Structure 1
């Protein structure tokens, strides 16, 4: 199955370009934090750099989706990558001539992430244009596998680059943008952009139009609500809670946490590879099955609360998370027309960032009065409950992707 798909030149260049670009993004994201700390020695300033990497998506995420729907996507992607190249190289030059300042580094980080707000929805919206519906599940799996593989690979590359200096992160990042541009020029597809007035006021009208349309889409509304709930209860207990718990349990917490993330990443990759062999048609019901596995994993390591059980819980999360993620992408691709895809993917991204931000804020405050273990238990139980309630109550009975239609789990 995969060998046949890879023979498609469009898909091959899409995956290679996206994977290489993703690697550069991950490495530069770390490099901005490293360099900010080197320049200031301040935890507050380093936190400010981290905020500069997330705030743009809350500010410009929805606008980026509109632009991705309005303009020719291939040309837009190439232009955005070409803008990012000199921005990244400017950091290298400023560092080389010893004129780098924290303010300039903050500005470049903000600009690069802002460009990502326009690049990412356009890039996501290209995939349905170069794939057949019957291949989409497998291609989505490959795309997510490449992204997860990059996440697993990046710590190894970062350790190697650190032996030469933080600035080489930016050199490699700029080279990945060159590679991305090359791959994008090799893509060939037909697209039909939105024929409408294009002005600043019409940007917000286009966003409003999308959400009015979304109100009548029961499946997508349910999908977005479920995504917000699950991500909200997952983010803190997975990204922060685990590390804090390991700090209390072992003196090698950072090392164990890195290994744990590696096990999780490998599990996600394996799940992504095998899902298309068993699931041909993605539905909300399969999303809920994935969420149930996801919640079970968090509940498991919350109840047993021990290092070895953290690994078993991470494996369960590594099975459930990619299943739900693949369903979310597939349903957006299947249920949203070409001229709304950019706004759909940008809305999804903004929702994820919003859920992450609220989760980190609220759970960070709760952690001062409630034990980490109980936060894990309650979060896992609520995700699991969400999955079971969705499976037991036919909330999608009026939807074409709902309970009235059979689910094709096997070939």
Structure 2
């Protein structure tokens, strides 16, 4: 099924660069949390590190989308990859000189994610430019399979690095992955429209406002952004921080267990991504909501049973629902948003995700001192399910109303 897409050299280079870079990102993301906890021993500071990874998108995310629409995509991606390499190597150097501090980790995390504000929407807009419309569902699925699939490899690599060299060399691997990403991007032939790069900052903000007005007038995009914000808000802390902290309370090998759970999650995601295009060539908002509901069931499950073995099962359920929702969201953006607005669409999506992440981390980070991790997991999972069910009910009722109106109108 994926053979034809994979034979396309442009798509293959795009996917390989993105997959390897993603593996490095997964490792460094874990390393920032691991080192923050090792340096401070504080749940609050660990949550603060997670917030540092989301806050830049609130400041620069929308601007990054405008730049993705305006600037030559290939050159921009290569430059941004190269800039990130010395930043990560600096952490390793300071660590060996015993000069690494929590504050410096925060600064580098902030800078890396700031660069991501410009890199991620630009990278996302490339795939529609190098694929045909009939290839897009399979290409998206293969792309997500590789990105998510690296979480299957990451636990093996992370356990080996932890035992052999320590979490600090997660950053070394990530730096090398950016070099590989830049190489593969340089081999992608991107047919771009002529770019206009002499625009003023006033036009940047005007461009952001124009897209906001456009999105507000398109019901499906507006609803997609709203449901995404709500689902991610209830998910972020219980998945990124709560799960790690719960494992820390249950086992002395929490970091290894966390990595293995991420690997099983990635394996289930791969299977879901492979199966999904067989049944769905086109994706809808209803399918997105079904995926979100399954996602919420998984969180509710591991919250209710709250033990290491049930964490594995619950995360596997999340691994079914999350890619259904994620692929549906990407497909809808690619299908409904014009090419000249697509960078802003993906950046707006990212800003909403990171805004939701940040609000979630701040609120849940405060609540964890008065509400147990287990209770937060249960509440969050149930609210995701309820939000999805309400959305499905409203959407199906609207569809029935439209069908009735059409029948009566033509009688």
TM-score category of the 2 structures, normalised to the smaller one: 0.7 to 0.9
Look up the match of 1:80. Answer: 80
Matches within 5 A, 1:257-336: 257-336=258-337
Cα separation, 1, equivalents of 2:309 and 2:97: 49
Cα separation, 2, equivalents of 1:97 and 1:18: 32
**8 Å contact from structure 1 (residues 219, 396) kept in 2:** no
Matches within 5 A, 1:5-404: 5-32=5-32, 43=42, 49-91=49-91, 106-162=106-162, 163-164=164-165, 168-192=169-193, 195=196, 198-243=199-244, 256-394=257-395, 397=398
Structure 2 spans left out of the alignment, 5+ residues = 405-411
Counting matched residue pairs gives: 400
Change (3 A) 1:205 1:177: same
SS in 1 for 2:116: helix
Query: What is the CA deviation profile of residues 104-151 of structure 1, one whole-angstrom value per residue up to 9, with x for unaligned ones?
Result: 555444322211111111001101111112121111111111111222
Cα separation, 1, equivalents of 2:128 and 2:373: 41
Look up the match of 1:4. Answer: 4
Cα separation, 2, equivalents of 1:17 and 1:343: 23
**8 Å contact from structure 1 (residues 215, 221) kept in 2:** yes
Structure 1 spans left out of the alignment, 5+ residues = 405-411
Cα separation, 2, equivalents of 1:204 and 1:300: 43
Look up the match of 2:407. Answer: none
Does 21-30 or 189-198 show the bigger shift? 189-198
Q: Following TM superposition, by how much is the alpha carbon of 1:373 offset from its aligned partner in structure 2, in angstroms?
A: 4.3
**8 Å contact from structure 2 (residues 62, 208) kept in 1:** yes
**8 Å contact from structure 1 (residues 71, 193) kept in 2:** no
Does 286-295 or 389-398 show the bigger shift? 389-398
Query: What is the CA deviation profile of residues 44-94 of structure 1, one whole-angstrom value per residue up to 9, with x for unaligned ones?
Result: 776665444332222111111111111011111112122223444455566
**8 Å contact from structure 2 (residues 155, 256) kept in 1:** no
Q: Following TM superposition, by how much is the alpha carbon of 1:354 offset from its aligned partner in structure 2, in angstroms?
A: 1.4
Q: Following TM superposition, by how much is the alpha carbon of 1:331 offset from its aligned partner in structure 2, in angstroms?
A: 0.7
**8 Å contact from structure 1 (residues 193, 339) kept in 2:** no
Cα separation, 1, equivalents of 2:104 and 2:233: 33
SS in 1 for 2:53: helix
Query: What is the CA deviation profile of residues 383-408 of structure 1, one whole-angstrom value per residue up to 9, with x for unaligned ones?
Result: 2222222222237958xxx989xxxx
SS in 2 for 1:131: coil
**8 Å contact from structure 2 (residues 155, 260) kept in 1:** no
Q: Following TM superposition, by how much is the alpha carbon of 1:369 offset from its aligned partner in structure 2, in angstroms?
A: 4.0
Query: What is the CA deviation profile of residues 328-384 of structure 1, one whole-angstrom value per residue up to 9, with x for unaligned ones?
Result: 111111111111111111111111111122222223333444454443333222222
Cα separation, 1, equivalents of 2:35 and 2:370: 34
Look up the match of 2:409. Answer: none
Cα separation, 1, equivalents of 2:210 and 2:202: 13
**8 Å contact from structure 1 (residues 33, 50) kept in 2:** yes
Cα separation, 2, equivalents of 1:168 and 1:237: 26
